[in-house]
Amino acid sequence: MSPPPPPLALGTPTAHLFSLLFSLTYVGSLYISKHSRLSFSTTTTHSNKGERQNNDNDNQGEREKKQSERWRDDPDVIRARLLAVLCTTTVCCSVLLGVVWADLEFRWETLPTTLAQTRLLLGFCLPPPPTLSVNQLLPHLITPTLFLGPIFSGYLGGQLPFQRNWIWENHVTRRFCTWVGVRNYVVAPITEEIVFRACILSAYHLSGASKVKMIFLAPLSFGLAHVHHAWDTYNRYGRTRAAAKRAIITSLFQLTYTSLFGFHTSYLFLRTASILPPISAHIFCNVMGVPELGWELRRFRAYRGAIISAYVAGVLGFIYTLPQWTAQSAEGSLYWY
C-alpha cells in the first residue's frame, strides 16, 4: 500500500476555496435540475386568515400543499436530489484525486499510487471481517453513549426495538422503507460525510492545516450548507411574518446543531482516519433526532430524577469515551500526528 501524501503547498486560502467549492457544489446540485428544484405558489393561503391571526399564529402547522407545487418530501423531488448528490459526491472525490495526481505530475504510471493515496485520504478503508476487533468497533459506540438519556426515555415509553409499543410497520417499514427514509438515513448521511468531512478535511490536511483548524473551522461549511432550508420553511408555513420568524429561528438552530455535530464527526474522522465512524454517527443522530428533555420530563414525571441522571451520564460518558475509544485508531491515523 502506498504511503499517504504529505501536505502539499496548497496554502490555507486555497483549502478555504476547496471547502467553499465542495459546499456550493453539493448544495447547488439540488437546484440545477427542474426535477430537483422546489416550487411554491406565489399566492399561498393558510387556514387562519387575517394579518392579526398570522401575527399571533407563531405555532401554526404547515399549510396545505397545492397540487402544482413541489416540496422537498415529494418522492420525485427526493429521487432527483438523491441522484444529484450522488453525482456531486463523485465529482468532489474526483477533484481531490486530481489534486493528489497533480502533485505526481499527472503521469499514468503514478495513477495506481494516486488512487491508493486518495482512498486513504478519504478514509475509504474497511478491514476484512476476520481482522475486525473491538477497538475498531468502539468509535461507532461513542455517539450512542451521548444519547443515553433519550434512549432511557424511549425504554420508559416502550419504544425500543421489540418492546410493547414497538411496531415493525410503524418503526421500521414506514420510517426507513420510503424515499424520505432512504434520503434521511442512507444517502444523505453517506454523501454529506464524504463531501463535508472526507473531501474538505483532506483538502485542509494537504494544505498543512492544524488539527484544531480542521476540527473547528472545516465543519462551519457543513452548518452553513443547511441554511438554504429556510426558504423551504418560509413557504411551507404560509409566507407570513410568523413563517419568516420560524424559518430564521429554525435555520439558526440548524446552523448551531449541525456545526456542533460537525466538530464531533471531524474529530472522529481525524482520530480514526476512516469515514465509517462519522457516517454511523450521522445515521444514528438522524434516527434519534434532537433530544426533547422537557417533553420527556413532563411525560414521565415519576422518573424525572432517573431521566436527568441518564442525560448527565450520557454527557459524562461521551466526554470520557470520545478520546479513549479512539485512542488506538489515532496511533495509526495519517491525520492525528
Say if 6 falls within a structural domain: no
Main-chain dihedrals φ then ψ at residue 175, nearest 5 degrees: -95, -45
Check if the beta carbon of residue 96 is closer than 8 Å to that of residue 121. Answer: yes
Domain that holds residue 124: 12-41+63-331
pLDDT reported for residue 12: 84
Say if 5 falls within a structural domain: no
| Number of independent structural domains in the chain | 1
pTM of the model: 0.91
Element (H, E) at 125: none
Q: What is the pLDDT of residues 59-97, one digit of tens each?
A: 567 888 888 899 999 999 999 999 999 999 999 999 999
Say if 336 falls within a structural domain: no
Say if 52 falls within a structural domain: no
Q: What is the pLDDT of residues 105-158, one digit of tens each?
A: 889 999 999 999 999 999 997 666 656 677 889 999 999 999 999 999 999 999
pLDDT reported for residue 289: 94
For residue 124, give the C-alpha cell. 475509504
16 a catalytic residue = no
Say if 56 falls within a structural domain: no
Bridge partners (DSSP) listed for residue 223: none
From the candidates 205, 226, 264, 282, give the one annotated as an active-site residue.
Answer: 226
pLDDT reported for residue 103: 84
The CA distance from 225 to 50, in Å, is: 34
Q: What is the pLDDT of residues 322-333, one digit of tens each?
A: 999 999 889 888
From the candidates 16, 192, 205, 282, give the one annotated as an active-site residue.
Answer: 192
Cα pseudo-dihedral 85, 224, 177, 81, rounded to 10: -30
Q: What is the pLDDT of residues 171-213, one digit of tens each?
A: 999 999 999 999 999 999 999 999 999 999 999 999 988 999 8
Report helix, strand or coil for 275.
coil
Say if 156 falls within a structural domain: yes
Q: Which of 130, 63, 71, 122 is nearest to 93 (CA)?
A: 122
Q: Which of 178, 120, 36 is nearest to 334 (CA)?
A: 120
Q: Could you please report the per-residue DSSP string of 157-216?
A: TT-STTSTT--HIIIIIHHHSSHHHHIIIIIHHHHHHIIIIIIHHHHHHHTT--HHHHHH
Check if the beta carbon of residue 35 is closer than 8 Å to that of residue 80. Answer: yes
Q: What is the pLDDT of residues 233-255, one digit of tens each?
A: 999 888 889 999 999 999 999 98
Classify burial at 5, counting beta carbons within 10 Å of its beta carbon; exposed 0-12, middle 13-18, buried 19 or more: buried
Is the dihedral angle over the CA atoms 139, 120, 270, 18 positive or is it negative? Answer: negative
226 a catalytic residue = yes
